[in-house]
Structures are given as structure tokens and as C-alpha cells.
Structure 1
Amino acid sequence: MIPNNSISPILFDSSGTRFRQNWIRWAFGFFFLSVCLGLVMRSFHVVEIPYFEYRNILHTHSHLALLGWGYLMLIGGMVFGLVKEKDRVKDYKFLFLGTVIALLGMLFSFPFQGYGAVSISFSTLHVLLSYGFAYKLLRVIKSAKKTPATRLLRLSIWFMVISTFGLWALGPISSSLGRMHELYFMAIQWFLHFHLNGWFVLGVLGLILLHFEEKGFKIHWQAYQEWVLAISVALTFMLAVTWAAPQPIFFQINGLAVIIQLVAYFWILKSVFRLDQTDQLLGFARLLLLLALASLVAKAILQGLLVFPSIAVISYSIRMYVIGFLHLVLLGAMTMGVCALVIAKGWINAHSGTKLGWILLISAFVLTQLLLFVQGTLIWLKMGFLPEYNLWLFLASCLFPLSIAFLLAGLRSNEFSNQSISNPKVQLQERIKRETMKKTLIMSMGILGILLTSCGGGSGESTSTTESTPKNEVQADPKGIGEVTSVDLGTGIDASLAETGKAIVDMKCTACHQLNDKRLVGPGFQGVTNRRKPEWVMNMITNVDIMLDQDPIAQQLLEECLTRMPNQNISVQDARGILEFLRKNDEEKAGERDAATK
């Protein structure tokens, strides 16, 4: 155990300001690492990266973004916003230190092993520490005056706890039913749904209302409206249920839920805009808050469209929409909202050192969201891809680490309010603290460099992203399951048919598959006609749901990729064009095609 007297001088001063500064610095540090990893993921569409496991980087990115940046900033806003007694703030120091250790453990384990013993241990530690935060904060809220803000914050904390039930369910489901079972994916969706729509959204709204209540504004929001909002969050989980069981009743419940949620959001946002309270904020604080509220409005409108079952299916079938929606909540509502509040409260000064950082952050968010939603809509309308879409998305994403670098530079230069410290001893301790964090971040960035050169031991065998040969493949029908029982390949490549297939692949497949042998979301296409019979390939395209449920090969691939291939409603004729393009791709890249038919 670390003695109190060795921690307190570094983390705390008499006012608790230093603890808050350190908290914010660590949160922005994890934000920087997460956007760097996100940039690496998007580079897969632009350049070929050897010895690199996309799935492991995806897990690292998502954990640092959700549990590092989002969680730390939101829980920190509640600690420093709700706990008024400065000496009581120190009660959270070990929870904070434990959380940082858990996040660093995930950073140094997920890139190399994905979900393994070490990474799962650190993730479990984070969950347990979050219960400690929840217990302490709920006690503070219980003793505080009951206001719309405190009721919302209490509700958001409970949704954070509820979201973790999905994580605890993963182990039993995986061991008893397997990772390809629908319940396994629904457990993941349980965590994401209640974490984003409950914990993040309601937590940010609660902090916004708390800030204005402290300024003397009266927020008129009745207790029953809190229950309506809670019910809407719970019932909108039906969207995830429709993905696994597309029954009309589940679509109807989800449609009712999003209508209820629109009403609940209207009540909250009306309370904010009615008094024109955003005029109390100036400069970047006001701009960021308006952008956060606009993101919430956009989220509510998008969810409102899900009353139509056809659009509900599209919302989780088109990957650009899924990513865009996640970023709308995490980067739009949560990030912009919390950053607006920390500027408004004087916890961060938006001076010259950070002004460019805020401008670049806003630009990166707006540009990437436009690209994602426009491209997703083009796919929906079957109009193909924007010219150089992946390159433009990569370039726009480059603004994220650049913006956070400017903000971190401002934080390291101590551009905080009320930070003037005249005691030389305290100045020395603060300088030691900054150097310690600097070294930790440099070591963390070193992980990214190591990943580009040595991830997987350099041989490429352990991180190969092509389809592995399942152990139970011999038990499967090599032609798969579906109406395609025989395919006439002809003597060569039909160039016209291959061109038709290429257009469909560009429109519907390249978001998850690459044309080389590297896995992106799904396995790379290179060599597929040498491993799989043409009938199996076409049945996988046209009869994907049955194949994933009954075909052993498809189930094994699902277990490896952990992402269920959506039903794109592709006809047999179009699937034949895709097969022809895959044959041509294998001939060009693998030097051989149709080996599975020999």
C-alpha cells in the first residue's frame, strides 16, 4: 500500500485544485492515445500495414475512449461538481489511482493479446473501481438537495452500473453457449447501449443542469419526467434485440421507445433553451455546449427515424452509420458537453495555447461525421463510394491527435485557472508530477511504434488476418447452406461480370473487408476462392443468417471476427458477380484461383 503522505503532496493541495488538474491531464492523455489508435485503424483502408492485428487495436481504442477519456471526464465532473467539501475530495484518490493503473494495464495488454487473461483482469479491476465511485457519489447525491440535476446524475450512475451487467454476462455465455451465440452479441450491445445512452448522455445532461443551477437558474423538470426518460432508455434496447430476433413486436416496442425518448429529450432541452442559458457562457465554452446540444438533437432525430423497421435494420447494417452514431454520442454530446463545462467552470482556460486545439477538435468532429453519414447514405441509396473516401476520412481523422496534442501542450504548460503557486516546494512537486506523466505518455506512445514493427513477433503467423482453417471444417458441407448448389465457372474470367461484382463489393463490402489477406473487420478476400468452393461463397453472401446459424465454417469465422456479417439482401445474380470479381482478385494477388474446386 502506498502511504498517504507520499501521495497527498503530489496529488493534492489545500484547495483540491492540483488533484483536479492531474485528473484532467490524465483524461486528455488517454484521449490522445485513443485517437492515435483510431487513426491507425483508419490507415488500414489507405495503406497496407504488416504484422498488425486490427481487432486488438480496435479493442484498445474502444476501451481507452470509453473507459479512459469518457469515463474519467464524466466521473471527474461529478466528483468535483458534487463534492463541495475539499477534504472529502481526497476520499477518491485511491479510486482514481486504481483507475489509471487499470487503464494503463489495458493499454499495455490489449494490443498484444486482445481479450486475454491480463487485459480482462485490468478491465475487471476498472469495473470494480467504478462500483466504488458509484457508491460514494450516490451517497453524496442522497444527502444533497433533490433537483433535476441531481436526479439526472443519480439516474446516469445507475445506468452505468446496469451497463456492466452485460460485461459480467460475457463469461458465462461464452463458456456455455459460445461466442457466436446471439446472446453473446446482445450482452455486448447491452453494455454499449446503457453506457452510451444512459451513463454518458444523462450524465452530461445532469452536469449541464448542475452548472446552471449553481448559477441560480431554476430548472422546471418534474420527477415523473425522469421516469419517462429512464423507461425510454431501457426500451430502446429493443433495437439490439431486433438485430438478433427481427420480430414485428420488437420493432414496435423500439418505435414506441424512441417516440417516448423524443418527448423526454424535448422536456430537458426546452428547459435549457427556454431561459437562453447558453448566453451565460462565452467563447469556446458556448460554442462547445451548443455543439453538444446539437449532437443530442441529431441523436434524438436519428433515433426517431428508427420507428420505421426498414430504417432500423439499415441503422445497424451500414457500418458508417454505426460508427457515426457512436461518435455522435462520445465525441459530440459527451466530449463537447464536458469540455464546455470545464472551460465555463474555469478548470481549463481557453487561451491562445489551447484555442487552436479546440478549433481543430471541432473541425475533426464535424468533417468526419459528415463523411461517415454521407457515405453511409450513399451506400443505402446504392450509389457507391465517394471518390477517395477512405483517404479523405483518414486525413480528416489526422486532425484529432493534432488537436489533442495542442490541448495537452496547453495543459502541461499549466494553463489552468487558479493555478498560481508561490511555494517553491509545491512548484517542485508539481514539476515532478508533470515529468512523471510525460514519461508515462512517452512510454505509451512507444507502444504504438512497437506495434507497427513487432506486433505478433514479426513472423506474421500469430497475427495473420486471413481466414484460419477451422478444426471442425471437415464436418461442414463444403458447398454451404442455401439455394446455390452448383456454379458454372466457365474456362476463364468474365471481365464484364467481374466489373459488376467489383461495383457491388466497393459499395457493400469494403467497409469490413480488404482485397488483400489482412483482416479488417472481417477476413481479407485474398485467396477465398482457393479455400472455399464457389457455392459456399455465394451462399454466404445470399443466405448469411442461416449460414451463421448452422454452417460450422461460418460460425468459426464469426467467433474469430466477433462481428456478425449483416444481411445485405444481395441477389444470387449479384452474388455471382461478386464471386467473379473475387476470382479475378485471387488471380492477380494470389497467383492462383479456384483451387477449392480441384
Structure 2
Amino acid sequence: MINLKRHTNIALGYFLIVGLLGVFLRLFFVTAIPANYRFIVHAHSHIALLGWVYIALATLIYKIYFAEAGKPAFYRRIFWFTNICILGMLCSFPFQGYALFSIIFSTLFLIASYFLAWFIFKNVPGHFKELASYKCIKAALWYMVFSSIGPWAIGGVMATLGKTSIWYKLSIYFYLHFQYNGWFILALIGVLFFLFERNKIRVPEQEFKRFFRLINGGIILSFFLSVLWTNPPFVFYILAAAGAVLQVLAFFKFFKILLASWKRLQFKLPPFTDMLLKICGILLVGKVLLQLLTAIPFFADLSFRYTDFVIGYLHWTFLGVISIGLFAFLKYFKLLKLPRPLFWIYFCGFVLSEVLIFYKGFSFWQRLPFLSQYASVLVGISALLPLSVGIVLINNIFSAEKRNFSG
């Protein structure tokens, strides 16, 4: 028997580290720090995606498909090997950036992720395989595998063309795009559809098929939004615009499916979980619209010139859509205790930091007066995120220990 609450706490532990590293990065603009900024960025981003989100999603998928079916031994080996890789990256990236040990642990992590996908494909009970939820999660796992072409390519690009080559950035953008838009978002959608199926609420088959075709077309073609900053041939602008439009159409269909049955699901959800999912949905709409804007060459160039817009978008997706979605599902499956006051502290930290990040980009773009204490204020606001996550983690750990002791 696998203790999925412990796995959730491990994922939260990584999220706490990510938040602390984020505050540490903000401090570079306040005071002199004897560390390499880029190295810390590498650690921050890798632990965010591969620690918090990856482990949390793997935990949810195991809960959905294997809590009753079993198969714990092989999964446990994959899980702990994965954590060794994550800890290896955490202990190497801050001190050497992309170098021997960090590359070794990153490579081993990719191999571990392939084993996770193989394990799920091979062992999911047959009665799940025709359901909408599994089709989304299966596609999400394939996008996870597909995204790894980016990291594999980085080594070759660094060895031949160097970090200044556009192919270096394109390899990173390829990885991030298919992680965020393919693996993370589509997996969360799959978990949401599972809630419908678990509560005997039918997702219309034809409507789902249309959504599924649109979302996959949108995910693939919208990657070309990430190449517009290179001023590519005109055909790439057409492909990027097509991807952005398909994304909009897909999520229009997605919300249409949800609205048709949400009231029935709402009665089966705890009120707080219902609210978290609604917040997540609103943020998802914002994400899609921001992505649509970058199909316009003017805004694509703007986001390249003022990187705060890109950082704001990535944080909007990661801290907002993805993390709040994970909070909602982990809470629904009773893997996470999330008191409302702590969530509102987290949410305030998220919203206020987003306002400041977008404000910086907008003020530089429009040559507006800039807040003199911007960096210090951003440090204080950013600290709300690890503060709230840390208290949630401590609360979860002590709650589990209390249950074990009383039992």
C-alpha cells in the first residue's frame, strides 16, 4: 500500500523550496548576494516543474487508476528513483548550472519519466481506457515524453552552436510549451473529466471528440507562437495564428461541456473545492487570451523585448492555473488539507506579484514612472507564497502524524 498523502507532502515540500528560491532570486535585485543568479534560476525552474507539478500529477494519476488496482512495487521504485534525480538537480544546479552532475540527474529524470508513462499505459485497468478522462491523461503523458526532445537537443546545441544560438532558446521553449500546454494542462483536464465520470455525469461523446481534436491541434500548432520572436518566414505566423485560434475554439468547447453539467457536479463537490475550480477556470480563460495576443506580431515582439510579460504569463499559468488546479484536486481526493485562510494568503501573494510583474513590463514599455522600492516590495509579496505553502505542509505533516498516533 502506497501512502499517497506522504507523496503529496513531498510534492508540497518541493513547492516550498520553489517559493523560497523565488524569494531568493528577488533578493538579487535588493542586495549583493554571493551566488550565481542564472544557476539559481535553473534550480528554481527545474524543481517547480519536475518537483511540485510532476510529483503532484503522478500522485493524482496513481490515486485515480491504481489506488484499488494496486501495482505498488514498481511504481514505488519509479517514485523514489525520480526523487533521487530531483534532489540531485536541487543539489547541483545552484552551484554549477548546466554541467556534469546536473546534466546526469536531468537525464536520469527523463528516463524515469519514460518509465512512469510506460507503467501507466501498461497497467491502467481496461475499463478506464475508453473514458474521456483517460484519453486526456494518456495524451498528456505523450506530450510529456514528446517535450523531452527539447532537453535532449540542448546538449547538442550547446556543444555545437553554443548558448547564444537561437536554437538554444527554441529547445527550451519547445520543452516548456509541451510541458505547460500539453502535459500539465491536459492532465488536469483529464482529472476534471474523471470527477464527472466518478459521479456518473456523462460527458457527451461527440462533444468530447470535437474538443479533443481541437485541443490537440491547438497544442501542436501553438508551439509556433514561441518562434515568432525569431522573425521567421510568413508561414510560421499562419501556423501560430491557427494554433492560437484552435486553442480558443477548444476551450470554448471545453467550457460549453462543463457548463452543461456543472450544476450536477457542483452538488457532489465540497464548496471550497468548487470555488477553487472556478478560480482556476477564470485564470485559464486569462491564460488562453494572453496566448492569443502573442499570435499578433506586435505583441510577439513586445513579449520578446520585455521579458517581464513572459515571466508574468508563465507565473500566471504555473502559480495560478496549474497550482490552484492541483490544490483543488488534491483536496478533493483528501490528499491535502488546505485551510481557507492559508489559500487566501497564497492567492493574495500570487495576484499581487502578478500585478507587480506586469506593471514592470508595462512601465518600461510605456516609459512610465517606476516604483522606487519595486524590488523590495516584490520580495515581501513573493514571501507570502512560501509562507502559506510552508504552513500547509506543516499542517499536513502533523495531521498525518496525529492520525497515525491515534490509530
- In the alignment, does 2:272 pair up with 1:288? no
| Higher relative contact order (Cα pairs below 8 Å, separated by 6+ residues) | 2
Contact 1:348-1:416 within 8 A present in 2 as well = no
Question: What one-letter code is carried by the residue in structure 2 that aligns with 1:26?
Answer: I
Report the Cα distance in structure 1 between the residues aligned to 2:57 and 2:197, rounded to whole angstroms. 18
The aligned counterpart of 1:444 is none
Deviation of 1:229 after TM superposition, in Å, equals: 1.1
Deviation of 1:47 after TM superposition, in Å, equals: 1.9
Report the Cα distance in structure 1 between the residues aligned to 2:52 and 2:274, rounded to whole angstroms. 21
The aligned counterpart of 1:411 is 396
Counterpart of 2:200 (choices 211, 216, 240) is 216
Counterpart of 2:23 (choices 30, 33, 39) is 39
The aligned counterpart of 1:98 is 81
Unaligned runs of 5+ in 1: 1-11, 424-598
1:1-40 equivalent positions in 2, closer than 5 A: 12=1, 16=2, 19-40=3-24
Counterpart of 1:226 (choices 200, 212, 227) is 212
Question: What one-letter code is carried by the residue in structure 2 that aligns with 1:347?
Answer: L
The aligned counterpart of 1:592 is none
Contact 1:284-1:358 within 8 A present in 2 as well = no
Report the Cα distance in structure 2 between the residues aligned to 1:173 and 1:301, rounded to whole angstroms. 32
Contact 1:258-1:303 within 8 A present in 2 as well = yes
- In the alignment, does 2:331 pair up with 1:343? yes
The aligned counterpart of 1:554 is none
- In the alignment, does 2:38 pair up with 1:55? yes
Counterpart of 1:260 (choices 227, 246, 266) is 246
Counterpart of 1:171 (choices 151, 155, 159) is 155
1:139-218 equivalent positions in 2, closer than 5 A: 139-141=122-124, 143=126, 144-218=128-202
The aligned counterpart of 1:374 is 359
1:121-520 equivalent positions in 2, closer than 5 A: 121-141=104-124, 143=126, 144-220=128-204, 221-276=207-262, 277-278=265-266, 280-350=268-338, 354-414=339-399, 419=403
SS in 2 for 1:414: helix
SS in 2 for 1:45: coil
Question: What one-letter code is carried by the residue in structure 2 that aligns with 1:253?
Answer: L
CA separation of 1:378 and 1:282: change in aligned 2, threshold 3 A: farther
Deviation of 1:145 after TM superposition, in Å, equals: 3.7
SS in 1 for 2:399: coil
Contact 1:356-1:403 within 8 A present in 2 as well = no
SS in 2 for 1:180: coil
Deviation of 1:160 after TM superposition, in Å, equals: 0.4
Contact 1:236-1:258 within 8 A present in 2 as well = yes
The aligned counterpart of 1:85 is 68
Report the Cα distance in structure 2 between the residues aligned to 1:260 and 1:117, rounded to whole angstroms. 41
Contact 1:38-1:61 within 8 A present in 2 as well = yes
Pick the structure with greater CA Rg.
1
CA separation of 1:223 and 1:139: change in aligned 2, threshold 3 A: farther
Report the Cα distance in structure 2 between the residues aligned to 1:44 and 1:315, rounded to whole angstroms. 23
Deviation of 1:379 after TM superposition, in Å, equals: 2.7
CA separation of 1:47 and 1:407: change in aligned 2, threshold 3 A: same
Q: Which segment drifts farther, 102-111 or 132-141?
A: 132-141
Deviation of 1:109 after TM superposition, in Å, equals: 1.1
Deviation of 1:155 after TM superposition, in Å, equals: 1.0
**Matched residue count:** 402
Report the Cα distance in structure 2 between the residues aligned to 1:150 and 1:421, rounded to whole angstroms. 37
Deviation of 1:285 after TM superposition, in Å, equals: 1.8
Report the Cα distance in structure 2 between the residues aligned to 1:415 and 1:422, rounded to whole angstroms. 10
CA separation of 1:46 and 1:414: change in aligned 2, threshold 3 A: same
CA separation of 1:253 and 1:384: change in aligned 2, threshold 3 A: farther
Greater fraction of residues in helix:
2
Q: Which segment drifts farther, 297-306 or 213-222?
A: 213-222
Q: Which segment drifts farther, 199-208 or 276-285?
A: 276-285
1:487-566 equivalent positions in 2, closer than 5 A: none
Deviation of 1:141 after TM superposition, in Å, equals: 4.7
Contact 1:21-1:416 within 8 A present in 2 as well = no
RMSD: 2.0
SS in 2 for 1:27: helix
CA separation of 1:422 and 1:402: change in aligned 2, threshold 3 A: closer
Report the Cα distance in structure 2 between the residues aligned to 1:217 and 1:206, rounded to whole angstroms. 14
CA separation of 1:246 and 1:278: change in aligned 2, threshold 3 A: farther
